[in-house]
Amino acid sequence: MEALVRALAAWRVPRVFGQPGEQVAPLVEALRAAGGEPEYVPTGHGESAAFMATAHARLTGGLGVCLAPAGPAGYELLGGLDTARRDGLPVLAVLVADGPPGGPVAGLDPTDPAERLFAGMCRHVRYATDPGRVDEAVRYATTTPCGPVCLVLPAPGAPHR
């Protein structure tokens, strides 16, 4: 979680829009512990987070970042990601999912229909198996042609599947 926060700060991301929840709480705490760089902006729904990140990308030309737990709340990101895809806007969608680093991720893996949903909406879906994956995901989102990228983070202490 801290590696993601450091990477976002290095890329000068000013804020992360996200739906609060148990799965994302460790990342929210890491954002707050970093002193608000980037700032965490809570939203009522994942859909709001994705549209806010998309609006940020459109208005600033910078990377918009949204956050949600994988599963039903994560699916709410798809509407905003579709807008970012159609308009070629750089948006990073961070999903926090149950599953071990480098292993299968419960709720989102290559055999899960959700994986295909995000793959259809995003330029790439990347699993954060190491800190370098964060930079890779940001580069994909911000390199022409720009578009949304999904980064899946395993929840801390997530059970093996």
Per-residue confidence (pLDDT) for residue 158, from 0 to 100: 56
Is residue 5 helix, strand or coil? helix
Q: In this predicted model, what pLDDT tens digit does every residue of 25-42 receive, in sequence order? A: 999 999 999 998 999 999
pLDDT values of the chain reduced to their tens digit, one per residue, 161 residues: 888 999 999 999 999 999 998 999 999 999 999 998 999 999 999 999 999 999 999 999 999 999 999 888 899 999 999 999 999 999 999 999 875 444 444 445 555 666 778 888 999 888 887 778 888 999 999 998 899 999 998 877 654 33
Q: Is the peptide bond before 72 cis (omega within 30 degrees of 0)?
A: no
- One of 3.30.420.140, 3.30.365.10, 3.40.50.970, 3.40.50.12500 is the CATH number of 2-154, namely 3.40.50.970
Question: How far is C-alpha 19 from the chain's CA centre?
Answer: 11
Q: How many residues does the chain have?
A: 161
- Paired residues of 126 in beta bridges: 151
CB 63 within 8 A of CB 138: yes
Residue 118, judged by CB atoms within 10 A of its CB (0-12, 13-18, 19+), counts as buried
Per-residue confidence (pLDDT) for residue 91, from 0 to 100: 97
Q: In this predicted model, what pLDDT tens digit does every residue of 106-118 receive, in sequence order? A: 445 555 666 778 8
Distance in angstroms (rounded) separating the CA atoms of residues 52 and 47: 9
Model pTM? 0.88
Per-residue confidence (pLDDT) for residue 102, from 0 to 100: 47
Per-residue confidence (pLDDT) for residue 105, from 0 to 100: 47
